[in-house]
């Protein structure tokens, strides 16, 4: 099983590797586990150039070591312990009944412990009957900021990655009152925010295609231009109230769902999110253990 997952990971990253070698000025930061520990690096073709330390924003130098992509396990491209906030936005796609931006983005919070790697499993709690996927562009904040004007918002973004904002949507609406877990748990449960496979810098992320597939079938498709509240507005608005810090992540909102597609997750389902010029994450739904 481990070999099969490794082969799948290499296959899914092949498009990313090819585009990486073809694009000038694009850098792909990855974080990975190998035989002697966990490292950060820059993906170059099918090799990872290892970087010193664990601070993504410190302009680290190369250690001189390199690793074959097929010999490592890719983790979240940023260490969750260095993430202070994971912010999401609900209903942020232009569509039927939402042809214009809402008066303000509808923010919610996930947690650093919600984060998972690009090929990690996603847990399905036994109480959850309506766990849903949402493929999204994720912003990685690169410097501290408060009261950021929209005209300067893009300067605060270090890079971007792909993510899947899993939610238990019955819990989120608290439709069954106290019989349901709280809205907080509906978004912030462990493993419900896989990201990756790399944090990418040097690309134009304001117009990228996003596609989500469930067991190989396309269930979401759209572009980042369809965000009702665009990236500059998201950063400017939230920074009026909350200081953004390096390492903060902002899930920018999902794209339209294909008509008739299934959303409720079942153990064994495989969900892929692919974003143009960023790559693919592929996560399998598994039953959550009820104890350690």
Q: What is the pLDDT of residue 51?
A: 97
Whole-angstrom Cα distance, residue 79 to residue 61? 18
* Per-residue pLDDT tens digits of the chain, which is 292 residues long: 444 444 455 445 544 554 444 467 999 999 999 999 999 999 998 999 999 999 999 988 999 999 999 999 999 999 999 999 999 998 898 764 555 666 778 899 999 999 999 999 999 999 999 999 999 999 999 999 999 999 999 999 999 999 999 999 999 888 877 877 888 999 999 999 999 999 999 999 999 999 999 999 999 999 999 998 999 999 999 999 999 999 999 999 999 899 899 999 999 999 999 999 999 999 999 999 887 7
3-state class of 278 per DSSP?
Answer: coil
Q: Would you state the structure tokens that stand for residue 83, as one six-digit string?
A: 């993430």
- The answer to whether the CB of 135 falls within 8 A of the CB of 211 is yes
Burial class (CB in 10 A: 0-12, 13-18, 19+), 278: buried
* Whole-angstrom Cα Rg for the chain: 18
3-state class of 281 per DSSP?
Answer: strand
Whole-angstrom Cα distance, residue 116 to residue 123? 11
Calculate the alpha carbon distances from 82 to 45, 46, 249, 257 in Å.
Answer: 27, 27, 11, 33
DSSP for residue 152: G
Task: Sketch out the chain's domains with CATH numbers.
Answer: 78-287 (3.90.850.10)
Q: Where are the alpha helices (DSSP H) in the chain?
A: 2-22, 169-173, 183-188, 231-241
Q: What is the pLDDT of residue 102?
A: 66
């Amino acid at each position: 099983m481990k070999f099969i997952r490794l082969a799948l990971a290499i296959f899914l990253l092949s498009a990313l590797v090819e585009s990486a070698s073809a694009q000038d000025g694009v850098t792909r930061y990855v974080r990975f586990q190998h035989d002697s520990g966990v490292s950060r690096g820059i993906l170059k073709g099918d090799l990872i150039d290892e970087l010193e330390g664990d601070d993504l924003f410190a302009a680290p130098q190369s250690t001189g070591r390199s690793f074959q992509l097929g010999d490592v396990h890719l983790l979240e491209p940023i260490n969750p312990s260095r993430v202070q906030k994971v912010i999401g936005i609900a209903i942020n796609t232009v569509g039927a009944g939402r042809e214009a931006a809402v008066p303000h983005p509808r923010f919610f919070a996930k947690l650093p412990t919600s984060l998972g790697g690009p090929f990690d499993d996603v847990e399905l709690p036994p109480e959850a009957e309506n766990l849903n996927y949402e493929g999204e562009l994720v912003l990685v904040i690169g410097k501290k900021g408060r009261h950021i004007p929209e005209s300067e918002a893009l300067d605060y973004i270090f890079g971007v990655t792909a993510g899947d904002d899993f939610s238990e949507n019955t819990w989120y609406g608290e439709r069954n009152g106290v019989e349901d877990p709280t809205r907080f748990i509906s978004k912030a449960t462990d493993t419900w925010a896989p990201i990756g496979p790399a944090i990418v810098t040097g690309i134009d992320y304001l117009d990228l295609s996003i596609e989500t597939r469930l067991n190989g079938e396309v269930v979401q498709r759209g572009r980042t231009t369809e965000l009702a509240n665009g990236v500059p507005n998201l950063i400017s608005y939230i920074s009026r109230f909350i200081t953004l810090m390096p390492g903060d992540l902002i899930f920018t909102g999902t794209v339209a769902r294909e008509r008739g597609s299934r959303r409720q997750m079942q153990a064994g389902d495989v969900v892929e999110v692919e974003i143009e010029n960023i790559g693919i994450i592929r996560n399998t739904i598994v039953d959550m253990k009820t104890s350690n």
